[in-house]
Structure 1
């Protein structure tokens, strides 16, 4: 029996609907429904969106005001599966055979520096606060400040283990520095931590920092990592206040319009309690425009299909593909960084946040894409791309 259980592998979900339990226990009272939720994100194909070809046969978006000419958009399966694994504690996670060195904990105890920069945590916390250029352009510290049970782009950083997580959560000095690191990054984004419950608000420099955050979108990958790490290290309750602030600024106040997709595809779904996700998504639905294009639920209530009805087998939990689609983010933002494939390439639209660095895209493959412009520097400069589906077979999360 032991061998059978040891060889058993969790069957991974194959659709967005299977990944999303947000509305499975929906009720007006929003009773707490916990997911005993982390495994390493495996390579998956991103969600596909079809662009209507232009008169010249290219894949450049040609939009009109008529809904039937808008490109079909749907939720990202990559995002849904990645966050599903995180919330469920990586069900196919394989424990490393290497001895557990607790390198993340030792870093937070100021006993070892981060690699490769050789910087100790105390130096970061005391000297980097307010040094926004350093926080923006250094691409090695984020994996050490916010460790996960996933491999990031800094391969010198070590993934968390369950034993290390338990030890970290019981070490007061490490937890104190972790919250200081969280406050440091919030300040970088124009936000301040108000209390020990995780409530947040705009900082005094919010206008300058929000403008930067709206344009510097690789930080959205960092924020996803920060949210995941909060949950791993015992601060699950800190997520919802931050996500709520981002929703308000993006959808209601329109100070972070470029962040909309990342909030709804990623940030919300780092939260483990379905009731908390429903609360945030209901708020988002109230302010999302166009309202008919809101793809994140709740699923439409359908009357019982009559026998013989075409399409009657479509169940609840639809990702909203049949609804008239929202204007794609590149058009809403007006000139956002994007890549257009060279002539002859079959195109798949990959959202900015989904287009993580592909391990198996060689130089020849990259030459097939012509950049229209980018402000992304360094290894975390993850671009919005349109890739040939066959070339996208591996990804590394931040």
Structure 2
């Protein structure tokens, strides 16, 4: 495969996180606006959340018994090297060898079988038994820059890759070989953009593919080779349909792990990987076992948002309770005013009756007591003067009571003025005379802010 360079510029990754840069440039939703198949946020994402929630409840008995899976470091490191063009390795072979290109030019057969590319494309097509049980042709049909199980096959070199891309005869046969293998897998190529769909015999082939799992290694090689030889745009549609069949349709359930652990990470563009992983996450069950993304930071933000919502709900509850308390106090004020008004009605001769003359003194004492009220509440003194002047006029007393009630109601409806509510206390002396004592009442101030009330 080549020798390691003696440079110190490359550091071998030692963790899965160091191998995976998928979410490094994630903007937290850039993919959703461009996807046409259900990757965007909004209503469909909410539906997906409901599906995952229901599935989590349905599978709770089984998921609790299983350990949460872990990502394979071997797979992550292997795909990291592939995406970064095998750092710290160099070509050792003679650049004029080009055996992979010459094989696709039909000039040499593949070893050890000795079969030419034209024979494979014409005679092996639809021969599923041969394609299944022969394990030496796949390294020649889909060459890589790394050694495979067939030690007769040669690794690609950088120079050979460039020459291969410029040779139309070779690229034409390469696409034909890809179509042949798609048919073997139960798929067909739809257009030049690499879109694929089920073939006519997909049910039979999917069942075989679900049972014959060594073909997942072949698919990984095919995806890698597509990227090496100029067909990177063919990879995402192929990975997407495998995710759909294994996770959504459940026609190839045994492929689920390989599709997420290997197939997705053969794609070099981070954006495409994120889109595919979000698609898989949308349907994956159980949801708490999805270990490939979205990143932890988004989950942490989600958790923080939930906690903030709970705190806001508690604050709102306290605010509602305080409002209820204020309403109760308002009713009490109304009852006191009513009692005061009723008893004053019986004293229409306050000025001439000596037995009730003491009521005037009580009014004066009340005025003196209210002199301590703040400047904003000077209206109380004015209203007390009104009461002294018209103490024998039951009609005006009633109007005053209503006016005072309106003032209290106005204060109660204003959060900023809850400390200016006036409480009326009825005074009953010896069961005969009654007047009011006005004193400033307060309600508990609410610390609830507009921000806390947002849910």
- Normalising by structure 1, we get a TM-score of 0.65
Q: 1:290 to 1:118 in 2, by over 3 A?
A: same
What is the aligned partner in structure 1 of residue 23 from structure 2? 23
Distance 1:192 1:281 in 2: 23
What is the aligned partner in structure 2 of residue 228 from structure 1? 224
Distance 1:250 1:24 in 2: 27
Is 1:127–2:123 an aligned residue pair? Answer: yes
* Structure 1 residue matching 2:150: 3-state secondary structure: coil
Q: 1:68 to 1:94 in 2, by over 3 A?
A: same
- Which aligned pairs between 1:142-161 and structure 2 lie closer than 5 A? 142-161=138-157
Distance 1:303 1:220 in 2: 36
8 Å CA contact retained: 2:95, 2:157: no
Root mean square deviation, CA, Å: 2.2
Distance 2:184 2:66 in 1: 37
Q: 1:96 to 1:9 in 2, by over 3 A?
A: farther
Distance 2:214 2:208 in 1: 11
Q: 1:15 to 1:129 in 2, by over 3 A?
A: same
What is the aligned partner in structure 1 of residue 100 from structure 2? 104
Between structure 1 and structure 2, the one with the greater Rg is 2
What is the aligned partner in structure 1 of residue 249 from structure 2? 253
Once the two structures are superposed, what CA deviation does each residue of 1:89-142 show, in whole Å capped at 9, x if it has no partner?
001113215454000000000000000000000000011110000000011000
Distance 1:80 1:100 in 2: 33
Is 1:186–2:182 an aligned residue pair? Answer: yes
What is the aligned partner in structure 1 of residue 237 from structure 2? 241
What is the aligned partner in structure 2 of residue 373 from structure 1? none
**Bigger RCO (CA 8 Å, 6+ sep):** 1
What is the aligned partner in structure 2 of residue 355 from structure 1? none
Unaligned runs of 5+ in 1: 32-63, 306-398
**1:71 positional shift:** 2.6
Distance 2:269 2:25 in 1: 11
Aligned residues: 271
8 Å CA contact retained: 2:185, 2:205: yes
8 Å CA contact retained: 2:190, 2:196: yes
Once the two structures are superposed, what CA deviation does each residue of 1:311-367 show, in whole Å capped at 9, x if it has no partner?
xxxxxxxxxxxxxxxxxxxxxxxxxxxxxxxxxxxxxxxxxxxxxxxxxxxxxxxxx
- Which aligned pairs between 1:318-329 and structure 2 lie closer than 5 A? none
Distance 1:268 1:160 in 2: 22
8 Å CA contact retained: 2:110, 2:140: yes
Once the two structures are superposed, what CA deviation does each residue of 1:265-296 show, in whole Å capped at 9, x if it has no partner?
00000000000000000000011000111000
* Structure 2 residue matching 1:75: 3-state secondary structure: coil
Q: 1:209 to 1:10 in 2, by over 3 A?
A: same
- Which aligned pairs between 1:298-317 and structure 2 lie closer than 5 A? 298-301=294-297, 302=300
Is 1:195–2:191 an aligned residue pair? Answer: yes
Select the structure that is richer in helix.
2
What is the aligned partner in structure 1 of residue 113 from structure 2? 117
- Which aligned pairs between 1:1-398 and structure 2 lie closer than 5 A? 7-27=7-27, 28-30=29-31, 65=61, 69-301=65-297, 302=300
Distance 1:257 1:299 in 2: 25
* Structure 1 residue matching 2:188: 3-state secondary structure: strand
**1:248 positional shift:** 0.6
* Structure 1 residue matching 2:197: 3-state secondary structure: strand
